[in-house]
């Protein structure tokens, strides 16, 4: 089979992986219409695009997860048929999904071994272990092979995902939004790994919508828009402006640049939320809170910084009333709310945007419309039913105010992309001018434009007198939005900072617990 020559011909060797004329439709929606997408050995290709631009679809086609309606895939210049992920793996194409696929109750070693397609009946433990150690050292993927996968931090789980792909013989590695779940320093580690892989001739596809990462690491940037390739830019020539223009069309680039910082408020209004030495019990799988005292005033954004898993989710749960304080008290607008049920807390005007909308805030089996009506208490009660026209109208208004494209309310939530689901949750939670917004990583998984919109929204909420408790791992986001910053570490408050101390250097030591070591010394 002669391989098709294209603009690659000058370099002689065919690309490692090449997709030509790929078309994929879901019903009437054209998810992908790709003329050419290539991955070269020893190169990092960034696949950039807004939520729903078709990046994940293309990746899933390359990995054999979806069958394309038309098009060819060539591997080293040879036409291949990839009918399943199994085929893809056998051909040396590996993929690390957004949601990891490790078995939590098995060790790292077992997870890796399980993934090897040519595993003999008697597992050659020493051999596999040697290879794990070898790869781990070469690519900065060191992780204890005997730890249970479920006990690992997210960053280490990702290392295991990459390790198992490498051991299974992957030459092309597709990573779907790999930094979405990582803390900044973990992202650095990932990029070191990718650089090593590139040096050894692996082909890497990095799916992301974070411009900064793309500009930092990619050799070539393929920008997708509406299922098509909007442009291919060489990594050296790329600028933020060029990429934004390709992502959103001309004229969008200027709109997404950072909004001016809001005026700093000096005197906060009445306290909306007060936590007074709140501690929670040590339940398995939860970080116990340790004497948290916190005050969020009306018209104030209080940022919570910290590496995730240091009690942020528990803090949110305490405010919402899901988790009871063992000792201490919680006041909402001056009233003792320590024992209020969730429904009452929400009724009083508390909105929550949890960190994982799919599993914590949505019911995938229900329609978007039904999801939007959930948790509204009796607001849309119409006799025994729901006043759907009124609910729809409110939600349409909320989508419009947020500047989000409105999904078809009749579709099931399960088929929405992660970013769109996040928008549904935001539209619902912010529809009724909440007086206290508890937001956990609200812009994680959103593209640049939606991120800007959400941040503007928090500012607007603050300016109309709402209190905002913003948990984030993105320090820039926290610095930009917060009026005060609190750093959490191991369930306690490590530091409270004023805007003059908003620098990574002053926050980082508290995030990793360096202050405690210093105290002890």
Partner 1 sequence: MLRDGATLWHYAMRARAFALVAGIALGVFAALLIAAGKNPVRAYADTLIYVFGNAYGFSELLVRMTPLLLTAIAAALPARIGLINVGAEGQLYMGAWLTTGGALTLMDLPAFLLLPVLTVLGFVGGGLWALIPGMLRGLRLVNETISTLLLNYVAPLIVSYFIFGPWRSPESSSYPQSPAFVDAARLPTFFHSRVHFGLVLALAALALFSWAMTRTRFGLDIRAIGGNAEAARRLGIPVVGYMLVVMFIAGGIAGLAGMAEVTAIQGRLVGELSPGYGYVGFLVSWLAGTRASGIVLMSFVFALISSVGDILQITQGVPYAVVDILLAVILFIVLGRGLSLNY
Residues lying near partner 1 in the complex (CB under 8 A) are found at 27-28, 320, 322, 341-347, 352, 354, 359-366, 370, 373-375, 377, 381, 384-386, 410
Q: Give 221 or 368: the residue with its C-beta nearer to partner 1.
A: 368
Q: Give 23 or 322: the residue with its C-beta nearer to partner 1.
A: 322
Q: What would the two tokens of residue 102 be?
A: 């490790």
Give residue for tokens 């020559």: 5
Handedness of CA 120, 123, 124, 127 (dihedral sign): positive
| Least spacing, CB of residue 286 vs partner 1, in Å | 14
Q: What would the two tokens of residue 42 be?
A: 């020893």
* Residue 105 CB coordination number (10 Å): 10
For residues 173 and 509, what is the distance between their CA atoms, to the nearest angstrom? 34
Q: Give 122 or 384: the residue with its C-beta nearer to partner 1.
A: 384
Per-residue CA distances from 72 to 36, 69, 186, 189, 205 (Å)? 10, 10, 36, 35, 18
| Least spacing, CB of residue 502 vs partner 1, in Å | 31
Per-residue CA distances from 494 to 96, 309, 311, 470, 487 (Å)? 34, 14, 12, 16, 5
| Least spacing, CB of residue 429 vs partner 1, in Å | 10
| Least spacing, CB of residue 418 vs partner 1, in Å | 15
91: left (phi over 0), alpha (psi -120 to 50) or beta: alpha
Q: Give 169 or 375: the residue with its C-beta nearer to partner 1.
A: 375
| Least spacing, CB of residue 342 vs partner 1, in Å | 4
User: Is the distance from CB of 8 to CB of 15 less than 8 angstroms?
Assistant: yes
Contacts 24+ apart (CB under 8 A), 389-395: 394/431, 394/432, 395/369, 395/427, 395/428, 395/431
For residues 32 and 225, what is the distance between their CA atoms, to the nearest angstrom? 10
Handedness of CA 164, 166, 172, 177 (dihedral sign): positive
Q: Give 143 or 373: the residue with its C-beta nearer to partner 1.
A: 373
| Least spacing, CB of residue 462 vs partner 1, in Å | 23
Q: Give 370 or 474: the residue with its C-beta nearer to partner 1.
A: 370
| Least spacing, CB of residue 438 vs partner 1, in Å | 11
Q: Give 260 or 378: the residue with its C-beta nearer to partner 1.
A: 378
Q: Give 150 or 341: the residue with its C-beta nearer to partner 1.
A: 341
| Least spacing, CB of residue 434 vs partner 1, in Å | 13
Q: What would the two tokens of residue 451 be?
A: 């991120």
């Amino acid at each position: 089979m002669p391989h098709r020559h294209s603009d690659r011909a000058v370099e002689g060797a065919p690309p490692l992986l090449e997709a030509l004329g790929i078309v994929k439709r879901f019903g009437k929606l054209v998810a992908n219409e790709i003329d050419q997408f290539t991955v070269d050995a020893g190169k990092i290709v960034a696949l950039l695009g807004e939520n729903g631009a078709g990046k994940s679809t293309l990746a899933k086609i390359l990995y054999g997860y979806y069958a394309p309606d038309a098009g060819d895939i060539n591997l080293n210049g040879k036409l291949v048929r990839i009918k399943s992920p199994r085929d893809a793996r056998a051909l040396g194409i590996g993929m690390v999904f957004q949601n990891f696929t490790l078995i939590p109750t098995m060790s790292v070693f077992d997870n890796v071994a399980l993934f090897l397609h040519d595993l003999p009946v008697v597992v050659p433990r020493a051999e596999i272990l040697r290879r794990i150690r070898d790869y781990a050292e070469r690519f900065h993927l060191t992780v204890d092979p005997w730890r249970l996968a479920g006990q690992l931090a997210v960053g280490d789980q990702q290392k295991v995902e990459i390790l198992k792909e490498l051991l299974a013989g992957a030459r092309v590695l597709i990573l779907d939004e790999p930094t979405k779940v990582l803390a900044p320093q973990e992202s650095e580690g990932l990029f070191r790994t990718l650089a090593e892989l590139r040096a050894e001739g692996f082909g890497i596809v990095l799916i992301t919508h974070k411009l900064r990462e793309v500009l930092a690491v990619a050799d070539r940037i393929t920008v997708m828009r509406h299922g098509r390739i909007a442009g291919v830019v060489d990594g050296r020539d790329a600028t933020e402006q060029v990429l934004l223009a390709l992502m959103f069309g001309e004229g969008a680039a200027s709109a997404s640049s950072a909004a001016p910082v809001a005026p700093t408020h000096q005197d906060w209004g009445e306290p909306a939320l007060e936590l007074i030495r709140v501690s929670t019990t040590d339940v398995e799988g939860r970080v116990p809170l340790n004497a948290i005292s916190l005050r969020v005033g009306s018209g104030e954004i209080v940022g919570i910084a910290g590496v995730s898993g240091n009690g942020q989710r528990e803090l949110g749960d305490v405010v919402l009333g899901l988790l009871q304080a063992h000792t201490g008290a919680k006041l909402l607008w001056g009233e003792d709310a320590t024992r209020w049920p969730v429904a009452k807390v929400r009724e009083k005007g508390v909105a929550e945007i949890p960190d994982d909308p799919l599993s914590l805030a949505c019911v995938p089996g229900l329609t978007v419309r039904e999801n939007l009506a959930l948790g509204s208490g009796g607001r849309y009660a119409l006799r025994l039913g729901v006043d759907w026209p009124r609910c729809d109208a409110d939600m349409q208004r909320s989508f419009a105010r947020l500047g989000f494209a409105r999904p078809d309310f009749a579709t099931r939530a399960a088929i929405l992309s992660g970013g769109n689901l996040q928008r549904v949750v935001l539209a619902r939670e912010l529809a009724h001018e909440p007086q206290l917004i508890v937001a956990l990583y609200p812009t994680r998984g959103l593209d640049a434009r939606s991120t800007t919109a959400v941040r503007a929204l928090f500012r607007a909420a603050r300016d109309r007198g709402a209190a905002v408790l913003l948990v984030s791992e993105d320090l820039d986001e926290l610095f930009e939005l917060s009026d005060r910053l609190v750093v959490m570490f191991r369930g306690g408050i490590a530091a409270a900072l004023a805007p003059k101390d908003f620098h990574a250097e002053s926050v980082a030591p508290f995030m990793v617990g360096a202050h405690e070591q210093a105290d002890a010394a």
